A and B are shown apart, each in its own frame.
Chain A
Amino acid sequence: MKLKLKIWRQEGPSSPGKFVDYDMDHVSPDMSFLEMLDVLNVGLVKKGETPVEFDHDCREGICGSCALMINGNAHGPETGTATCQLHMRRFKDGDSVIIEPWRAKAFPVIKDLATDRTAFDRIMAAGGFISTNTGNAPEANSILIGHDTAESAMDSAACIGCGACVAACKNSSAMLFVSAKVSHLAQLPQGHPERAKRVRGMVTQMDNEGFGNCSNTGACEAACPKEIKLENITRLNREMVRAVFKD
């Protein structure tokens, strides 16, 4: 299979970037998208050129490292999958593929397709945790949590923090990420003591990082590899209102 790649190349955070064309030959439909880029990079190294920089780690859709905008879609055309779970069988012989980094002011490009997503870490540090000494695993029956609540909290906790929501949003809003993290703990009894402080801290940090504002378009939900639901954003808004009346 032959492909025409158009890849964003950028030396560093402050240097201007541009698209560079690469022709790929002998692409196997069984390759993953990242393996295809590996093959490209091996070729570039052999030619003495600088390989294309891109983030990746587990390559099985759970770490949230990979982050590519493929033909305008965050993580490519497949729904509910990260870039690493995208396979070349999704493309046709002769296809043109545009590969870009996440585009957001709060995610500056480090190099080529790799972006600095530490803004998410700072949002987490502003409240995305519970301040208890966990010690040994507690007795499971000492805090009873209903099945539906546990499932719903787990669905929110499935967020891997890849930033696809920000990349897909026309406003570069981080609301889906923040709402998933807030929702996860707001639904569980362990998260309740710091509920108001958490949502206030995380939303303030999100605003300070320069992410845009949510305009309820739903693009984030469509792009999310973990299929985090928009209901989380509704819950975040509710939590923020609730926090006005608490401590």
Chain B
Amino acid sequence: MASLKLFLKSSVGRKFLVAVTGLGLSGFVLTHMAGNLLMFVRPEAYNTYGHKLTSTPLIYLAEAGLLAMFLIHMGLALKLALENRTARAMGPSQNPSTCEKSARFGSQYMALTGVLVLVFVILHLISFKYGTYYAVTYNGVEMRDLHRLVIEKFKLPLYTGWYLVSMLVLFVHLAHGFSASFQSLGLFSVRNCLIKKLGWAFAFLVAGGFFIQPIYGYFYGGN
């Protein structure tokens, strides 16, 4: 028990937790993206999926778990980032990332991209989860017409633009975060070719999936 406490207090242990929760959240964005693809099938499929998901009592458990992962991930990452700032004291007059001996691109901006993703998530919840409630009835079952709200939002150029920029930010965050998690867990190095490619592929898949939906909504929405 004492060794577990020491582990969780150490920099390595805290990074371990950031990695575990990060991978958990990665799983969430992947399923969220996959669920959203139902909008290409037909509005009914999309709305029924949303209805089924929210009408089970398990949703509260899932939401609580998700919120806990979010809080642990953000809280620890923020604390670690602040410690890093203190440890730096004063940076060199030239940034090493612009020189020959460079670091991975996304890795330099994890805190910034993380905060931007957080801002997106909050506004996203306000727009959709707590947004306008349209009702629709399929086979006698009344449910929320989320499809209508989504299309309505993506008809607004500013909203769509902002959404796309946020997905680019998510891409940068995931491209480093996903593969780096495996290093923090002590499983694979980020230099491992397969893990590196997997990280890019995962980020591309998730961000790409989220990317086509607003574009579809903007150009073809409702038709």
Asked if B14 is at the interface of the complex by the 8 Å CB criterion, the answer is yes
Residue in contact with B96 in the complex, picked from A72, A229, A235, A240, CB distance below 8 Å: A72
Q: Are A223 and B96 in contact (CB under 8 A)?
A: yes
Cβ–Cβ < 8 Å partners of B204 in chain A? none
Q: Are B103 and A211 in contact (CB under 8 A)?
A: no
Asked if A171 is at the interface of the complex by the 8 Å CB criterion, the answer is yes
Chain A, residues 72-116, CB within 8 Å of chain B (1/0): the string is 111001010000000000000000001010011110000000000
Residue in contact with B183 in the complex, picked from A171, A219, A234, A246, CB distance below 8 Å: A234
Q: Decide: A230 near B189, CB < 8 A? Known: A219-B97, A240-B13.
A: yes
Query: Nearest residue in A to B179 (C-beta to C-beta)?
Result: A216
Q: Are A234 and B93 in contact (CB under 8 A)?
A: no
Chain A, residues 102-142, CB within 8 Å of chain B (1/0): the string is 01111000000000000000000000000000000000000
Cβ–Cβ < 8 Å partners of B102 in chain A? 219, 222
Q: Which B79-132 residues sit within 8 Å CB-CB of chain A?
A: 80, 83-84, 86-104, 107-108, 110
Q: Are B15 and A213 in contact (CB under 8 A)?
A: yes
Asked if B3 is at the interface of the complex by the 8 Å CB criterion, the answer is yes
Query: How close is B200's CB to chain A, nearest CB, in angstroms?
Result: 15
Q: Which A220-247 residues sit within 8 Å CB-CB of chain B?
A: 221-223, 229-231, 233-241, 243-247
Q: Are B110 and A215 in contact (CB under 8 A)?
A: yes
The answer for the CA separation of A103 and B7 in the assembled complex, in Å, is 28
Q: Which A131-181 residues sit within 8 Å CB-CB of chain B?
A: 167-168, 170-173
Query: Nearest residue in B to A245 (C-beta to C-beta)?
Result: B3
The answer for the CA separation of A229 and B191 in the assembled complex, in Å, is 9
Q: Are B103 and A241 in contact (CB under 8 A)?
A: no
Q: Are B190 and A103 in contact (CB under 8 A)?
A: no
Residue in contact with B180 in the complex, picked from A171, A216, A229, A245, CB distance below 8 Å: A216
Q: Are B185 and A237 in contact (CB under 8 A)?
A: yes
Q: Decide: A172 near B87, CB < 8 A? Known: A222-B101, A230-B189.
A: yes
Asked if A71 is at the interface of the complex by the 8 Å CB criterion, the answer is yes
Q: Which A31-72 residues sit within 8 Å CB-CB of chain B?
A: 69, 71-72
The answer for the CA separation of A100 and B4 in the assembled complex, in Å, is 40
Q: Are B191 and A221 in contact (CB under 8 A)?
A: yes
Q: How many chain A residues touch the partner (CB < 8 A)?
A: 56
Q: Are B93 and A98 in contact (CB under 8 A)?
A: yes
Q: Are A104 and B88 in contact (CB under 8 A)?
A: yes
Chain B, residues 20-51, CB within 8 Å of chain A (1/0): the string is 00000000000000000000000000000000
Cβ–Cβ < 8 Å partners of B87 in chain A? 104-106, 171-173, 210-212
Q: Are B16 and A105 in contact (CB under 8 A)?
A: no
The answer for the CA separation of A173 and B83 in the assembled complex, in Å, is 10
The answer for the CA separation of A98 and B91 in the assembled complex, in Å, is 13
Cβ–Cβ < 8 Å partners of B6 in chain A? 200, 204
Q: Decide: A216 near B101, CB < 8 A? Known: A98-B93, A171-B87, A210-B86.
A: no
Q: Are A105 and B7 in contact (CB under 8 A)?
A: no
Q: Are A240 and B92 in contact (CB under 8 A)?
A: no
Q: Are A103 and B90 in contact (CB under 8 A)?
A: yes
Chain A, residues 167-198, CB within 8 Å of chain B (1/0): the string is 11011110000000000000000000000100
Residue in contact with B10 in the complex, picked from A71, A207, A217, A219, CB distance below 8 Å: A207
Asked if A22 is at the interface of the complex by the 8 Å CB criterion, the answer is no
Q: Provide 17 A-B residue pairs closer than 8 Å at the C-beta atoms, listed in order of the A residue.
A: A79-B100, A79-B101, A98-B93, A105-B88, A170-B96, A171-B84, A173-B84, A207-B10, A215-B80, A215-B180, A229-B189, A234-B188, A234-B189, A238-B187, A240-B12, A240-B16, A244-B3
9 pairs of A and B residues whose beta carbons are closest in the complex: A72-B94, A238-B186, A212-B87, A237-B186, A171-B84, A219-B103, A217-B107, A216-B180, A217-B103
